[in-house]
Chain A
Amino acid sequence: MVKQKKKVRVLIGKLGLDGHDRGAKIISRALRDAGMEVVYTGLKKTPKDIARIAIEEDVNLIGISILSGAHETLLPELCQLLKENEADDIKVIAGGIIPKDDVPPLKQLGVEAVFGPGTKTEEIVQFIKTVIQ
């Protein structure tokens, strides 16, 4: 009988000049309660900060909350940095205020999924469990 000790590790962070972290905290709490280890970075991180933390913490997935409107610049930059550091097996998902029309280009640049307002936390938990298999 081998005990399964593998844990899902997720980074939850805020990119750029954006002071609203309630959503990020709610998601963190939901993932914690789903048995995951959540590394919370706090506010105002640069794509470089997030990439570095994700690599050091060896997370399976990065969840970025962004409500500032800068998603088209910051998210592709993060994906690019992960690639440059040979860490693009770490998945990136985003949530917050991101217009529907912006989603397909973001996905093309490496963002795995975008979750808008009103998404149930169970849906995100389920998505993470499926995507990191």
Chain B
Amino acid sequence: MNRSGKILGKSSPFKLVDEMLKGSVRALSRLITLIEDETPGSSEVLKRIYYHSGNAYVVGLTGAPGTGKSTLMDHVAIELKRQGFKIGIIAIDPSSPFTGGAFLGDRLRMTETLNEDDIYIRSMSTRGNLGGLSVATKNVIKILDAFGKDFILIETVGTGQAEVDVMKETETTIVVSVPGLGDEIQIMKAGVMEIGDIFVVNKADKNGADRLVEEIETIFRMGFRSEEWVPPIMKTVATKREGVTALVEKILNHREYLIGKGLLRTKRMNRIQQEILEMVNAKIINEIIIPIREPYIVSEKLLDDIVLRRKDPYSVTEEIVDNIIEAFQRSPKGVNQIGK
């Protein structure tokens, strides 16, 4: 038991941070688990890591299931590495709403990157989160950043129309589409089709690829002013590695554009503001609201009344909130005493 492996596997969070900053992949992996599991002490770890992060550029890849995101990611990572960058990949797949289990199969497609030094891949499940990412994703980005990655590539779950969280965490968002999924009306819909900084038509060797490019082009040209970044539409055949170099060039162009216009900093400030708001909300709900709300939880009798239309849910909600506010005003300092 005194071999260093055993020690590193079970060592303290701060020891792991030190080892990770020295370049230990094992420590990096252990830390990611710690953060993902929200193990006690993980917020202290994040505080420490934050000061070592801030250098990585984050790219998101999203699109419907089966559009070729993982395969494309594999080749994009190889191309970026060829240009001398260090890469971290986070690949997200859905968790089961019934058991919480998950089948993480993105790595299966990432065969080129498998044995490349300087490319680290981590599969994550959404752990019940909607929106295309997991709650821990933003913190795992910071760990990979602190580890020294230049580019962090995030592959979302296979998305439908509304999973747009990826744009909140990334600096360049790539939306992948393939021919045969629907007509131009689908492209006009709000949501995922709006968030791309770059659009990719993958499987471009299939029928209908040119038409899809034209349709996206027509619809997008309607909305952009000329001085803004106009999202390019790139054709790729990921399995044959076609179009990948051009795509990587566009990613780098977009990064230069954001830096040149001073937009990268604004983007990062907005993101951190959003992140702080979310953390404050979560803390208030978990540490203040839930304990106060406890005594007012709706009883089975009351639920029965509501279902049988003897009462309505809107009045009940108002009563609960009124009670909480009243209790809070009675005892603003002793929050834990409220409701007792």
Contact = CB atoms under 8 A, between A and B. Distances in A.
Contacts of B33: 9, 58
Nearest to B3: A86
Contacts of A5: 36-38, 127
Interface stretch (A39-47, A67-75, A95-103, A113-121): A39-47
7 contacts: A6-B39, A7-B100, A9-B33, A37-B101, A38-B103, A40-B103, A89-B5
Contact of A56 (B6, B25, B103): B25
Q: Is the interface on chain A under 10, 10 to 19, 20 to 34, or 35 or more residues?
A: 20 to 34
Nearest to A57: B123
Interface string B46-76: 0000000000000000000000000000000
A42 B37 CA distance: 26
Contacts, number: 99
Interface of B: 3-6, 8-10, 25-26, 29-30, 32-33, 36-40, 95-96, 99-105, 107-108, 114-115, 120-123, 125, 127
A67 to B, nearest CB: 19
A109 interface: no
Contacts of B39: 6
Identify the 5 closest CB pairs spanning chains A and B, nearest first. Answer: A86-B5, A58-B29, A32-B101, A42-B108, A89-B9
B29 A32 contact: no
Interface of A: 2-3, 5-7, 9, 28-29, 31-42, 48-49, 52-53, 55-58, 83, 85-89
Given A29-B103, A88-B5, 8 more contacts: A3-B38, A35-B99, A37-B95, A42-B108, A56-B29, A58-B30, A86-B26, A89-B6
Contacts of A29: 103
Nearest to A2: B40
Nearest to A12: B103
B101 A36 contact: yes
A88 B100 CA distance: 27
Contact of A32 (B8, B26, B99): B99
Nearest to A29: B103
A40 B96 CA distance: 16
Given A41-B108, A87-B9, A89-B6, A49 B102 contact: no
A38 B38 contact: no
A83 B127 CA distance: 31
B258 to A, nearest CB: 29
A9 B100 CA distance: 12
B287 to A, nearest CB: 11
Contacts of B95: 37
Contacts of A36: 101-102
B30 to A, nearest CB: 6
Nearest to A9: B33
Contacts of B102: 32, 36-38
A65 B29 CA distance: 24
A35 to B, nearest CB: 4
A130 B6 CA distance: 19
B101 A56 contact: no
B137 to A, nearest CB: 15
Contacts of B25: 55-56
Contacts of A86: 3-5, 8-9, 26
Contacts of A28: 103
A39 B114 CA distance: 14
Contact of A58 (B6, B32, B104): B32
Nearest to A83: B5
Given A37-B104, A42-B108, A32 B9 contact: no
